[in-house]
Chain A
Amino acid sequence: MTQYIDTITSPRRRRRQAPFARGGESPLLARLDWVLLFAVCGLVAYGLWAIAGITRHDVAGNESYFLVRQAVFAAAGLVLMVGAIFVDPQWYRRSKFLLYVLMIGLMVLVAFVGTVSRGSRRWIDVSFFRFQPSEFAKVLFVLTIAAFLADRARRVEELRTPLLAIALAVPPVLLVMLQPDLGSGLVYIAALTACLFVVGVRWLHLALFGAVAVVLAASVLWLLPATGIDVLKPYQVARLTGFTNPDEDPRGTTYNVRQAITAVGSGGFSGRGVQGATQTRLDYLPEHATDFAFASLSEQRGFVGAAVLMLLYLLVVWRGFKIVTLARDPYSAIVAAGLVFALIFQVFVNIGMTMGVAPVTGITLPFVSVGGSSLVANLVAIGVLEAICVHSRGRS
């Protein structure tokens, strides 16, 4: 089987490999994953179009306020993405210590000079925009954890290895959860899980970690509050558990979800249009430009519009996995897997929460939600994926 895959290559791939076979490297452009690039550009463009509709009535007198800002960030993100393509992934591996310190440093900085908004300290004000380190830290987190795991790849069978990786992951996860930003914390954990999974941690160990995670989650959500120790804020617990019973308290914690489901459902097949989408236009749907952007999009553009978005994501994810399999070394593979899985996790939890199948955790919709940090960080992540692709195709 394996042999079959190795020996039979597609004609296109053979064509690409041809110049390299002649001894020199093929041009960078030829080695890019153009499908991924187009899919991401398509996502960004589609996201901007969605945001144009979603935020049309948000700022009185300036219909395109958010659109213009988001477009500026998209442009900046695309530039940084292109820049990231030129960085050899091995450089991240070598600089893992620096990157880890940078990540922790950024998060500690937020804790001290961050701006408090709606009860959490997540942002650093940088003149005209708010810089949200936890979004960039997602990329740094994957890069550093992957570096550690790749270094110890040969001893991956030992329980020590995954335990140390988890120990490395704990400080950033705790810091981000203390902001509090539960959603980003969960994304880190998802990325960590993917890294551990791909590097080849034994099933038994994975099962053990899974069991510990379940016990931890259960105690945080139910056992400890029952004994009077609140680890999470009550609203966070209510949100995490609320989606299992949406009719419990329609005016309170599950209000958002109910309004989001109503918005999605009312969109129907072809949507209600920008003017007709009353859930969005009349502000019944909270956070419709950020966390609940998918609900808003579904309301305005209907099943067709939402399905197009999900197919674009699927395309990106497919190409992402393709890059994981192409990766020339374990480090690249782990990084690619971590980044792709973090993306899947964000998409699933965000879209899922707007439809009542996942808890409300304040995770943004990648490439669509209004928010510069999220957009730029996700584009940089795509740049890293492309770099992995470029360097994998560079050498056989």
Chain B
Amino acid sequence: MRVAMLGGFALVAFLVLFFRLWSLQILSPDEYRAAALDNQLRTVSIEAPRGPVLDRDGRILVRNVASTAVVVWPASLPQGNGRDTEVRELARILDMPFPRLRALIRAHPNDPVTPVTLKVAVRPDVVAYLYEHESEFPGVQVKQAYLRYYPGDTLFAQGLGYVGEISAAQLEEMRKDGYRPGDRIGQSGVEASFDQWLRGTEGMAELRVDSLGRPKSPLALTQAPRPGYAIRLTIDASLQRAAEKALRYGIALAHRNDEWAADGGSIVALDPNTGDVLAMASNPTYRPSVYRNRSGKELAPLLDAKAAQQENYPALNRATAAIYPPGSTFKPVTALAALQEHIVSSGTYLPCTGSYTVQGVTGAGQTFRNWDPNVNQPMGMVEAIAASCDTYFYRVGHAFYSLPPERGHPLQEWASRFGIGGATGIDLAPEARGILPTPGWREATYTRKTDPCCWREDRLWKPGDSIQLAIGQKDIAVSPLQMARFYALIANGGRLVTPHVVSRVEEAGGENAASSVVHSFQPPPAEGSGVDPSAIAVIKQALYDATHASYGTSSSVFGNFPIPVAGKTGTAEKIVQLPGYPNGLLEDQSWWCGYAPANRPEITLCAVIENGGHGGSAAAPAALKVFEHFFRVKAPKIGAIHSD
């Protein structure tokens, strides 16, 4: 009896099991099949090859090369001590410091399912080792990655910018645009400004993994990545190379003239009619490829403020983001304003003397010197610009100062219309606006807080401010690009162009197919500045004389050049911080701005050599090298230089 009950109990138990088995396997197997698939399929994103960057003739400035990257899936790493052991071992193999690796993995604590890229461009022997010892490294994956390759090495480095992993702060801001953790994005220059076009769309693939996250199947593509578009620049790679070489030549020249502190500079070349940036050089420079290697020593000057200072800021694009007093290259601005405001006419003669003394606000006389103390003759505007007479412009500046209050501040107003002290609108970040000093600016800048001792006096706009502004000195600061834009305005007869480095977005064609234009960037049409064509004509004449007349400050450089060049030298005094001079040192910033051919300008150029001495002795010869390349003509030997 009891045995029968036990038997019945057993039968019921088996029936329970049987029905459960039936319900799981016969009634709802699909649900569990799906769960099983879900378990083992991991969706991974396939990096889209980033688009190339081409120069105006289609020459490649940046492209991709395939490489390998080591990534880890934080969720699949062992827990506890095992994790540290594994990461330590990885650090040894990848030759990276352990704390840095750990920091990388910990950087995304809230996102354990996004793989963290530890290192790209991993050596083949390291890859082979990782494959062989796969079982010892759960959660570690070797995958294909694209690396930026720069055929021109340092060519246009600051302009191109670099690519790096998206930072937490950037992610916060850009998540809505579809950016995701671990994305590699443009961090500066064209790479950053045109990232949306360059990055393409990542593809999706499925991968079978085991419970430890180790891949067990090849990737199966579910959505092919769309490669990024190509960006066509206005830059002429060959002219860019020439400009960079000319810049180094200008700096070397300055050193030869005992300007020991000459160490940086910039050259900008624009098409004066369209605003196309033809070349944009900045020195010192760097290799953008160092970002992919992540080698600490080479990267330090780019990431670490102190190291950057030691190397004189190689990552800084001096053409757009560095500002200098323009010195005499500013005189055409003053001249145009003076002509427009009828302060002087082109026929007005003012004495050009060795110095100029005015009654200061305190009553004491203040003397401003001419760069050439031995001059003493009346000059018209054309000659004053060509010979770069400071005292002529001191007088004009003083006249501006002496205008009745209801006339406002026309010098600054015209300068502003010419783009001084404002953004140029270039499609490349970052851009410095510079400083166009006005009485309002002085008042806002010198306050009790910023200048406790002397703010009451310093906030006033004094005659010296107008006088020095007239020759581009004291507080005024401009970027080389701003100045180039102004000279383009002179060259094209008074229109203010918007400089730009990108002309269009293209989709690469196949083997033989031509690439098609996806999007064409039309810069805003050049605006008229309201300047009188006759005034421009006067300045053009003056700039031509400056390079050709016997008294022209860069005649010895450009006078015998087969193509007629017009342009102005500048020697801007600036207090610079140099090692060994804790209080700074007053150094000459060597400028030259101009265009060619003088009658029908095709190229506008501005060159700055930091601490390079006189404009005619460093910047002008550097500019000449660029013209030589642009016009494919050899310049005769440069004669003795007599310039400011």
Contact = CB atoms under 8 A, between A and B. Distances in A.
B211 interface: yes
Given A278-B208, A282-B216, A284-B40, A264 B21 contact: yes
Nearest to B13: A348
Contacts of A340: 6, 10
A353 B37 CA distance: 22
Interface string B1-32: 01101110010011011101110111011011
A263 B36 contact: yes
A150 interface: no
B25 A268 contact: yes
A357 to B, nearest CB: 5
B6 A303 contact: no
A306 interface: yes
A321 B3 contact: yes
Given A303-B22, A325-B3, A348 B210 contact: no
A307 interface: yes
Contact of B32 (A265, A283, A307): A265
Interface in B34-88: 35-37, 39-40
A282 B2 contact: no
A355 interface: yes
B523 to A, nearest CB: 56
A282 B216 CA distance: 8
Given A284-B211, A321-B6, A341-B6, A307 B36 contact: no
B29 to A, nearest CB: 4
Nearest to B37: A278
B17 A303 contact: no
Given A282-B216, A283-B210, A266 B7 contact: no
B25 A269 contact: yes
Given A265-B35, A278-B37, A283-B212, A344 B13 contact: yes
Interface in A25-57: none
A355 B6 contact: no
B33 interface: yes
Nearest to B20: A355
A321 B2 contact: no
A352 interface: yes
A316 B29 CA distance: 29
B550 to A, nearest CB: 88
Interface residues of A, number: 45
Nearest to A349: B13
A348 B17 contact: yes
A282 B209 contact: yes
How large, as a class, is the contact surface on chain B? 20 to 34
A261 interface: yes
Contacts of B26: 268-269, 303
A337 B25 contact: no
Contacts of B212: 283
Contacts of A333: 3
Contact of A282 (B5, B10, B25, B208): B208
Given A279-B39, A284-B40, A307 B3 contact: no
B2 A197 contact: yes
Interface in A276-335: 278-279, 281-284, 298-299, 302-303, 306-307, 310, 313-314, 317-318, 321, 324-325, 333
B603 to A, nearest CB: 65
A194 to B, nearest CB: 7
A267 B25 contact: yes
B25 A265 contact: yes
A198 interface: yes
A262 interface: yes
Contacts of A282: 39-40, 208-211, 216
- Most chain A CB inside 10 Å of its own CB: which residue of B7, B16, B17, B32: B17
A264 to B, nearest CB: 5
A261 B29 CA distance: 10
Contact of A306 (B7, B21, B37, B208): B21
Contacts of A265: 24-25, 28-29, 31-33, 35
A339 interface: no
Contacts of B35: 262, 265-266
Contacts of A198: 2-3, 6
A151 B353 CA distance: 138
Interface in B541-569: none
Nearest to A277: B36
- Most chain A CB inside 10 Å of its own CB: which residue of B6, B35, B211: B6
Contacts of B209: 282
A262 B39 contact: yes
A310 B25 contact: no
A351 interface: yes
A269 B29 CA distance: 8
A192 B533 CA distance: 115
A348 B6 CA distance: 14
A302 B32 CA distance: 12
6 contacts: A262-B35, A317-B10, A321-B10, A340-B10, A352-B17, A355-B20
Interface of B: 2-3, 5-7, 10, 13-14, 16-18, 20-22, 24-26, 28-29, 31-33, 35-37, 39-40, 208-212, 216
Given A298-B24, A303-B22, 14 more contacts: A262-B36, A264-B24, A264-B25, A266-B32, A269-B29, A278-B208, A282-B216, A283-B210, A318-B7, A321-B6, A324-B6, A333-B3, A340-B10, A348-B16
Which are the 6 A-B pairs with shortest beta-carbon distances?
A265-B32, A268-B29, A282-B210, A266-B36, A303-B25, A283-B211
